[in-house]
């Protein structure tokens, strides 16, 4: 297939592009390098050293003989997106090209506005481009489990059947997003569902849990292909932060009671899920939703797992509880369904089998690059304000468009 990977320089997009290329698909990457600019803005660096995108693609070509096209541009620029569709003609488009961090969207007004404009306008442009150039093109959109929130009932995959006043219907599952970022994803889902209905488009919304790990078979071929390992308080995941803290002998910082429970999956399962969605596309006018995760853990569960793994490596690992800067339930019911991708053939990797290799050993290998100051919580959900940003401001990026 001809597959476009929008946001192909990012944490999920990069290994996905390599994986699909290795499988024999004709792959193109679309990116505007904003993810690298956000690191500069926040004064942080990913733990792993990331080469320039052009160099990464050059090394991939040298190692495999396979060519991945690069299209540099912004999906919020419809003229650029139109030219891309005409030049490449994708049969499937994987949409990773969004600002994906809840804390970033909660820093202040500018970051909230930027997140919603960037994400919602980019997705709308993509929907219009598919309508104009190839309505048969299958949209595979990265959503988030965070759209659902933490309801006191089981979370279904996208839809729920309800009975009310003697009548019955199947409707989209109620959304309870927890940040301006998650709200942007809810708006995306509504826009995609609407355009599938009125234009006959076909789309798969992958409501993904928290992804962990850096290594796939393709990334492991050469250090120049290595993936991101974000651990800072804005873009880093809690699991990455715990592994880095353990590697440098710092206490693991659990927010509140640590009962916050979410779905998790290995990066190797992310790329496989995307492939499964591409190989088994939605039907015309269909907006389908897959819950893309393999296991559920609480924050405290993760801390204890990292504590055990750290001790196996000879580290003394303590756990500290900090006041939670987020507005969220610190103990709650959480049971989300996630059977559809398993039914399509996904064979999950388990965190218990890969914690040391895919996370702890990477944290130890690159611990000289760790900046402990970037892990302290500074973004407060209750009192948005500008924190630790010193370079390219979101409003400046918007103005340049």
Q: Which of the following is catalytic: 144, 253, 261, 389? A: 144
Residue 351 contacts residue 305 (beta carbons within 8 Å): yes
78 is catalytic: no
Nearest Cα to Cα of residue 196 among 172, 167, 169: 172
Q: Which of the following is catalytic: 181, 231, 334, 366? A: 181
Strand partners, 292: 208
Residue 238 contacts residue 306 (beta carbons within 8 Å): no
168 is catalytic: no
The pairing of beta strand 167-172 with beta strand 159-164: antiparallel
CA distances from 112 to 10, 40, 71, 117, 394 (A): 20, 18, 27, 9, 9
Print the SS3 string covering 197-232.
Answer: HHHCCEEEEEEECEEECCCCCCHHHCHHHCCCCCCC
Give the Cα-Cα-Cα angle 187, 32, 55 (nearest 5 degrees).
135
393 is catalytic: no
Q: Which of the following is catalytic: 16, 104, 185, 389? A: 185
Residue 135 contacts residue 201 (beta carbons within 8 Å): yes
| Alpha-carbon span 107 to 381, nearest angstrom | 8
Strand partners, 332: none
**Active site (catalytic) residues:** 144, 181, 185
């Amino acid at each position: 297939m001809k597959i476009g990977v929008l946001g192909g320089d990012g944490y999920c997009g990069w290994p996905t592009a390599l994986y699909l290329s290795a499988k024999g698909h004709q792959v193109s990457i679309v990116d505007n390098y904003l993810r690298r600019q956000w690191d500069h803005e926040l004064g942080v660096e990913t733990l792993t050293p990331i080469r320039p995108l052009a160099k990464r693609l050059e090394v991939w070509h040298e190692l495999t003989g396979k060519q991945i096209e690069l299209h540099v541009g912004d999906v919020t620029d419809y003229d650029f997106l139109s030219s891309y569709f005409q030049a490449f003609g994708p049969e499937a488009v994987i949409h990773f090209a969004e600002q994906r961090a809840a804390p970033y969207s909660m820093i202040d007004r500018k970051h909230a506005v930027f997140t919603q404009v960037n994400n919602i306008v980019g997705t709308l442009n993509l929907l219009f481009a598919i309508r104009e150039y190839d309505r048969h093109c299958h949209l595979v959109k990265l959503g988030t489990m965070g759209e659902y929130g933490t309801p006191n009932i089981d979370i279904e995959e996208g839809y729920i059947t309800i009975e009310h006043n003697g009548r019955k219907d199947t409707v989209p599952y109620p959304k309870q997003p927890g940040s301006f970022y998650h709200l942007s994803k809810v708006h995306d889902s509504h826009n995609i569902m609407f355009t599938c209905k009125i234009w006959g488009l076909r789309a798969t919304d992958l409501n993904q849990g928290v992804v962990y790990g850096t290594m796939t078979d393709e990334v492991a071929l050469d250090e120049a292909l290595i993936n991101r390992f974000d651990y800072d308080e804005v873009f880093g995941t809690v699991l990455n932060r715990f592994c880095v803290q353990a590697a440098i002998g710092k206490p693991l910082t659990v927010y509140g009671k640590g009962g916050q429970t979410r779905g998790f999956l290995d990066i190797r399962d992310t790329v496989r899920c995307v492939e499964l969605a591409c190989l088994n596309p939605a039907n015309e006018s269909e907006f389908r939703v897959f819950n893309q995760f393999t296991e559920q853990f609480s924050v405290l569960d993760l801390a204890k797992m990292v504590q055990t793994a750290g001790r196996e490596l000879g580290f003394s690992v303590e756990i500290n509880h900090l006041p939670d800067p987020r507005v969220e339930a610190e103990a709650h019911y959480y049971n989300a369904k996630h059977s559809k991708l398993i039914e399509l053939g996904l064979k999950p990797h388990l965190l218990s089998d890969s914690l040391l290799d895919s996370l702890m050993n990477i944290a130890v290998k690159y611990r000289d690059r760790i900046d402990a100051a970037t892990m302290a919580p500074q973004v407060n959900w209750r009192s948005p304000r500008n924190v630790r940003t010193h370079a390219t401001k979101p409003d400046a990026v918007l103005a340049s468009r």
